[in-house]
Amino acid sequence: MKTHPYLAGLVHSATLHINEVSAKRFASGQQVYRWGFGQSPFPVPQIMVETLREFASEKSYLEVQGLRLLREKIAAYSAAKIHCPYQAENILIGPGSKQLIFQLLLAIEGPLLLPTPSWVSYGPQAHLVHKPIIKIPTSAEHDYKVTPGQLVHACNSQLFSQYILILNSPNNPVGNIYSANELQKLAKVAEVHNIIIISDEIYGDLSFEENYHSIASFYDQTIVTSGISKWAGAGGWRLGYCCLNPSIESLTKIMNKISSETFTSVSAPVQFAAVPAFEKHDQIISSKKQSINILHTIGNHIHKSLLDMHIKSPKPQGGFYLFIDFEYYRRILFKQGIETSKMLCATLLEQTGIALLPGSVFFRDPSELTARLAYVDFDGQQALKLERTIDKNLTSAEYMLSIAPKIVEGLEVLKTWLNNL
């Protein structure tokens, strides 16, 4: 059977691949520090699980755009959070925000402006819809954030009447957050150059400080995508959403048509069960706060420990990733034949069991010695229980030992490996 030649370059998603390799190593009795795959470690809040049970017998197809009640809740929640005039009509529910981003790339004309490092799937998705990609490599000096000057330069170097920019804050793989000031400046450039922005805010509810802003507050040609996969630990439920400013109603209609001809509607019980996620239940509020505290403490601890080992990364501000740089060890690694991020990660996994994703899969230059570290290798359920009762006077090292002992062990293994290079 022949498949379309255009798909020849398509590879299995790198994040899923590392998970499979780590699982095989583990099954053969070898040690694995799972810092590669970024799945939320936290359980789905109980109130959502109970609602799912209650609505398990819902069997009819729901409206293509999504259950109205759920859309009303998401509209109110998002309008309050990011100060945009959303109504139920402006919300679309899909089987994960990944699918919705794909549909947006299909529906909106223009090349994709892609600041790198970027999440692994934007590039392949753009490729699938035959969209030109204009990569914008960001620098460590600017915490891997795209600057207004870079955006102007990228638009001036091409001749298109409209562009698409995907901004992702809090960011995967960097774990940083764009400030309100930075977003305002980018919004101004977007307006001048006719850039439509897809603001991927899937980690928006895992911001460590009260500093979370959305570019949608400053620019109406923005589509916000988000979901319950990260903060609510419900990746496998496959429910995401996007919020479209009322001024881009025509896009809402097109998106609905694409949904109707592809996935039809998201699983009915899951849509009902997602409703409490956007209501003000004590359980939801406290589990979000506790998850944030846990991730913030772990992120800070790893960041500091790695700096002590001369491995740099921007300070963690949200989500559960660090984008780390082994540049300090370049010469010594080079002597051992390690010249790329891919070789670095393969050697590290083989010699220590530490699984990281190489910077090259996030569209960085292959020779850059960067990698993504996902700090989710701990028992989220247990961590939430401990977080409720733990002595708040513990040092960060003591806290880490009780909440994430495997991560502490992995850091020691890494330190020994670096010392023995």
Ligand X SMILES: Cc1ncc(COP(=O)(O)O)c(C=O)c1O
Task: Determine contact, residues 330/343, Cβ cutoff 8 Å.
Answer: no
User: Is 66 among the residues that bind ligand X (CB under 6 A)?
Assistant: no
Q: What is the DSSP letter of 44?
A: P
Total binding residues toward ligand X, as defined by CB under 6 A: 13
Q: State which of residues 36, 227, 318, 358 lies at the interface with ligand X (CB under 6 A).
A: 227
What's the min distance (Å) between Cβ of 274 and ligand X? 12
Closer by beta carbon to ligand X, 193 or else 213: 213
Smallest gap, in angstroms, from Cβ of residue 39 to ligand X? 8
Would you state the structure tokens that stand for residue 310, as one six-digit string? 């001369």
Structure tokens that stand for 255 in this block = 């998106």
Tell me whether residue 168 or residue 221 sits nearer to ligand X (CB atom).
168
What the block records as the tokens of 407 is 């991560």
Question: Residue 41, interface with ligand X (CB under 6 A)?
Answer: no
Quickly count: other Cβ atoms within 10 Å of residue 359's Cβ: 28
Instruction: Please give the Cα distance from 238 to 244 (Å, whole number).
Output: 20
Of 103, 150, 168, 199, which lies in the binding site for ligand X, with binding defined by CB under 6 A? Answer: 168
The CB density around residue 194, as the number of other CB atoms within 10 Å, is: 13
Q: Is 119 in the site for ligand X (CB under 6 A)?
A: yes
| Residue 360 in the binding site for ligand X (CB under 6 A) | no
Measured from the CB atom, the residue of 168 and 245 that comes closer to ligand X is 168
Task: Report the C-alpha gap between 94 and 66 in whole angstroms.
Answer: 8
Stretch that binds ligand X, among 16-24, 93-101, 284-292, 411-419 (CB under 6 A): 93-101
From 95-103, 255-263, 390-398, 409-417, span contacting ligand X (CB under 6 A): 95-103
Least Å distance, CB 229 to ligand X, is 3
Which stretch, 78-86, 91-99, 244-252, 278-286, contacts ligand X (CB under 6 A)? Answer: 91-99
| Residue where the block lists tokens 């996902």 | 374
Nearer to ligand X, 97 or 176 (CB): 97
Does residue 276 interact with ligand X by CB under 6 A?
no
Do residues 358 and 347 touch, judged by C-beta distance below 8 A? no
3-class DSSP state of 126: helix
Q: Residue number with the shortest CB distance to ligand X?
A: 96
Query: How many Å apart are CA 187 and CA 193, to the nearest integer?
Result: 10
Distance CA 120, CA 106 (A): 17
Stretch that binds ligand X, among 94-102, 261-269, 348-356, 368-376 (CB under 6 A): 94-102
Pick the closer one to ligand X by CB: 239 or 302: 239
Helices (H), 62-179: 68-82, 97-107, 122-128, 148-156
Q: Least Å distance between CB 57 and ligand X?
A: 25
Helix/strand/coil percentages in the chain, nearest 5: 50, 15, 35
Give the separation between CA 305 and CA 417, rounded to whole angstroms.
Answer: 14
Q: Which stretch binds ligand X (CB under 6 A): 16-24, 90-98, 216-224, 374-382?
A: 90-98
125 near ligand X, rule: CB under 6 A: no
Tell which residue, 356, 38, 368, 367, has the closest CA to residue 172: 38
229 binds ligand X (CB under 6 A): yes
Residues 18-37, mask of contacts with ligand X (x by CB under 6 A): --------------------
If the CB atoms of residues 272 and 320 are measured against ligand X, the closer one turns out to be 320
Task: Tell the smallest beta-carbon distance from residue 35 to ligand X (Å).
Answer: 15
Contact 384, 43 (CB under 8 A): yes
Distance between CA atoms of residues 321 and 314, nearest Å = 10
Report in angstroms the alpha-carbon separations of 347 from 18, 101, 337, 341: 13, 34, 10, 10
Least Å distance, CB 100 to ligand X, is 8
Rounded distance between C-alpha atoms, residue 119 and residue 289, angstroms? 25
Nearer to ligand X, 226 or 313 (CB): 226
Residues 240-259 that bind ligand X (CB under 6 A): 240
**Closest approach of ligand X to the CB of residue 191, in Å:** 25
Which ranges of 262-404 does DSSP label H, i.e. alpha helix?
268-274, 282-308, 330-335, 341-352, 380-389, 396-403
By beta-carbon proximity to ligand X, the closer residue of 166 and 411 is: 166
Specify the stretch interacting with ligand X by CB under 6 A; choose among 51-59, 108-116, 227-235, 388-396: 227-235
Instruction: Name the site residues for ligand X (rule: CB under 6 A).
Output: 38, 96-98, 119, 168, 172, 200, 202, 227, 229, 235, 240
